[in-house]
Structure 1
Amino acid sequence: MVEAYPWQDSAWKRLTSRNNYAHAYLLHGPIGIGKRALSERFMASLLCHGQINLPACGECKSCLLLKADSHPDIYLLEPEDADKAIKVDQVRNLVSFVAQTAQMGWRKVVLIEPVEAMNINAANALLKSLEEPSGNTVFLLVSHQFSRLLPTIRSRCIQQACQLPSKAMSLQWLAKVLPECSEDQRVELLTLVSGSPLAAVKMHAQGVCEQRILVVDGVKKLLKRELFATQLAESTWKDIPLLLLFDWFYDWSSLIIRYQLTHDKNYLGLSDMRKVVQYLSQKSAHGKVLNIQDWILAQRQKVLDKANLNRVLLLEALLVQWVSLPGRR
């Protein structure tokens, strides 16, 4: 069975407390909090022949087929390749599935993740089926970026916001799944992923702490003129995800701005960059920091939109601006 995370109790109750199920649900919230797992638990409950409005029994024919990944009344729609768009042809195949009769004589369930990956043509092709699905079909849409969804998609669904768990709950759960990490390491991991516990586990497996050390060391050497932007962009950071780099630099720029406004040393971020953030806050013009922050956001959006970008040139542009922050105010 899919894991039930402790922070999902209230969302689960809201999803399963209705007397009559809706034809479409939109589960949205930050990435890394288990929305996919929640939607799969809900899907199992919708398909289960053994119980109603309760977690799936796990024993009926439908549940056993679901466990074996061979249930005929499930349709999973995802990008064909990681970080690519969901295309209109994929949606047309989905529409054909929706038009069919459920082979198990019960419900059909469609799971789409992430729904924001649909391009505009794909989204428009989905609208009619989403509004009036044929047969007894339930759509479960999972979104990590709610603001990117078309209003026409949002309006056709029952919306279920999925919140970040509290820091205390996340750390308690991480202590169970990452016992090899110290408390400080778990706090650092959770901070690096903006509080998403599942993202923290994933990042730990991908060596994010080691990547962070590499990036922080590079930034410090860059500011001391011990390394050039080209060296970092072409070789030192070549294996570090671009979005991760943008997120860290955006976070640092936000900390710089906050310290310039408040001079509160309690809000300088993680210990590895506190001195750098304080130094840049004191030496950089406020307007220059705001400009680089706007630039980072614009470039990050291009990456999310799957634009054809030159990674090396993009990183060089970022680092040239960063190293130019301290100077004449």
Structure 2
Amino acid sequence: MEVKEFYPWHLDIAKIWIQSKDRFSHAWLIYGQEGIGKFDFCLTAAKTILCKNANPFACNCCSSCHLMDKGNHIDFRVVVPESLREHYQISNKELEEYSSFNPSTGGKPSLEIKIDQIRELEEFFTLSPSLGSSKVIVLGPVETLNQASSNSLLKILEEPLGDTVFLLFTHAIQKVLPTILSRCQRLSLPIPTPEVATDWLIEKGLQNANELLLMASGAPLKALELSSSEYEPVHFWISDFIENLNFGTQIDYDFFVDKLDKIPNTQWVNSLQSLVADLLLSINGLEVRFYKSLEGEIRSIATKSSALKLTDLWKYLIDRQRLSSHPLNKKLFIHSCLQKVYICVGK
């Protein structure tokens, strides 16, 4: 688990926030759009809080900083759903030490933070800090807590321990229980300006930074992830789908269902929303925003489309996005969405 420096778009807010750490609440809720670096912010903040020579950020030289970089600081814990261990680059060793998940036992990793993971923190609370005056727990996304683990966490937050700081993070603050919200101070992390995000992506070597950033709704880490993913939407599936729509040819639904079954529902539904947004822009004589490399095909489809049908389709996809985290049958869910788009746009 690599502890990075604060991202450029977080530096100013991090400096102001860290310099007030003498007045810190025992629990903070860090919130903002997915893909802007909230987990990394929490890790870097934890490293700074535990650092012996922070001024104002972690010195990266003391024993505490070295232990954080190695992923075995005795005064630090991280709690995430088992299914997100790879996404957050948490090693098997760290998992065995910090969570209830044992990779050697097999089974499907949980999508939720389970109550056992919260209970395992009890021993941690009984120990005094070993290397300084504080202990830190990074936990999230908070919306992945189930009812049992939420209640267990709430009991802990209701009886704060003076030497322990909770750094909770969430992509969807509206989904966090009001009782948990009431026990935390909140810190909103802003999305970077397009200029700052684009410059950062270009520094990372991305040639099509603008297009990827638009596909990622302005979230730079999400754009970076897309750039290295075999499931990057344009090449993986959306260009083929748009070609079918443009020529009005019958769609091989099984082909697309098999592809989209490999990626999260939220991702491909978002790609369809971006397509419909581009079609609405084009039909109103404006430049497409999301799929610049497919602008010709999108304009061609727009000339044959109805603004009213596209507006209805947009509303439909918003509704599908709400359901995307828990459809009863994923393949049927994919098929019905693609069919709806084809009926509204391709015919």
Compute the TM-score of the two structures, normalised by the length of structure 2.
0.81
Q: Is 1:293 equivalent to 2:320 in the alignment?
A: no
Instruction: Give yes or no for the alignment of 1:152 onto 2:173.
Output: no
Correspondence for 1:29 among 24, 27, 32? 32
Letter in 2 for 1:37: D
In 1, are the aligned partners of 2:138 and 2:168 still within 8 Å (CA)? yes
> CA shift at 1:115, angstroms?
1.5
Letter paired with 1:300: Q
C-alpha contact 1:285 1:325 (8 A) present in aligned 2: no
1:181-220 correspondence runs (5 A): 181-182=206-207, 185-209=208-232, 211-212=234-235, 214-220=237-243
1:46 aligns with 2:68: no
- Partner of 1:233 in structure 2? 256
Query: Could you tell me which amino acid in structure 2 is paired with residue 20 of structure 1?
Result: R
Partner of 2:198 in structure 1? Answer: 171
Q: Which amino acid aligns with 1:87?
A: K
SS in 1 for 2:150: helix
Note if 1:316 corresponds to 2:335. Answer: yes
Whole-angstrom distance in 1 between the partners of 2:151 and 2:296? 47
Query: 1:98, 1:135 within 8 Å by CA — same for their partners in 2?
Result: no
Q: Closer, same or farther in 2 for the Cα pair 1:111/1:281, shift >3 Å?
A: farther
Moved more, 104-113 or 209-218: 209-218
- Tell me how many residue pairs correspond in the alignment: 318
RMSD after superposition:
2.7
- Alpha-carbon contact 1:30-1:145 (below 8 Å) kept: yes
Q: Cα distance, 1:285 vs. partner?
A: 5.8
2:283 is the alignment partner of 1:283: no
Q: Whole-Å Cα distance in 2 between the matches of residues 170 and 324 of structure 1?
A: 37
The 1:6–1:220 alpha-carbon spacing in structure 2 relative to 1, beyond 3 Å, is: same
Distance across 2 between alignment mates of 1:234 and 1:210: 14
Q: Which amino acid in structure 1 is aligned with residue 11 of structure 2?
A: D
Any gaps of 5 or more consecutive residues in structure 2? 85-109
| Corresponding residue number in structure 1 for 2:66 | 64
CA–CA distance in 1 between the matches of 2:211 and 2:66?
A: 40
Q: 1:301 to 1:274 in 2, by over 3 A?
A: farther
2:83 is paired with a residue whose SS is coil
Residues 245 and 175 from structure 1, CA distance in 2 versus in 1: closer, same or farther, beyond 3 angstroms? same
How many angstroms apart in 1 are the aligned matches of 2:37 and 2:166? Answer: 18
Q: Secondary structure at the match of 1:138?
A: strand
> 1:218 and 1:275, CA in 2 relative to 1: closer, same or farther beyond 3 A?
closer
| 1:160/1:231 CA distance change after superposition, 3 Å | same
The answer to whether 1:73 aligns with 2:75 is: yes
Query: For residue 128 of structure 1, what is the aligned residue in structure 2?
Result: 155
Structure-2 change in CA distance of 1:274 and 1:14 (3 Å): farther
- Unaligned segments of structure 1, at least 5 residues: none
User: Contact 1:229 / 1:320 at 8 angstroms: preserved in 2?
Assistant: no
Q: Which amino acid aligns with 2:320?
A: Q
1:289 is displaced (CA, Å) by: 3.6
The one-letter amino acid paired with 1:152 is T
In 2, Cα distance between equivalents of 1:40 and 1:314? 36
Does residue 92 of structure 1 match 2:119?
A: yes
Letter in 2 for 1:140: L
| Displacement after TM superposition at 1:212 (Å) | 4.1
Q: Which residue of 2 aligns with 1:266?
A: 287
Evaluate the alpha carbon distance shift between residue 275 and residue 219 of structure 1 in structure 2; reply closer, same or farther with a 3 A threshold. Answer: closer
Cα distance 1:147–1:212, how it changes in 2: closer, same or farther (>3 A)?
A: farther
Identity among equivalent pairs (%) = 27
Identify the match of residue 303 of structure 1 among 319, 324, 340: 324
SS of corresponding position for 1:266: coil
Contact 1:107 1:137 in 2 (8 A): yes
Change in 2 beyond 3 A, CA 1:154/1:310: same
**Following TM superposition, by how much is the alpha carbon of 1:12 offset from its aligned partner in structure 2, in angstroms?**
0.6
TM-aligned CA distance change 1:308 to 1:327, over 3 Å: closer
Say if 1:275 and 1:218 are closer, same or farther in 2 by CA, change over 3 A: closer
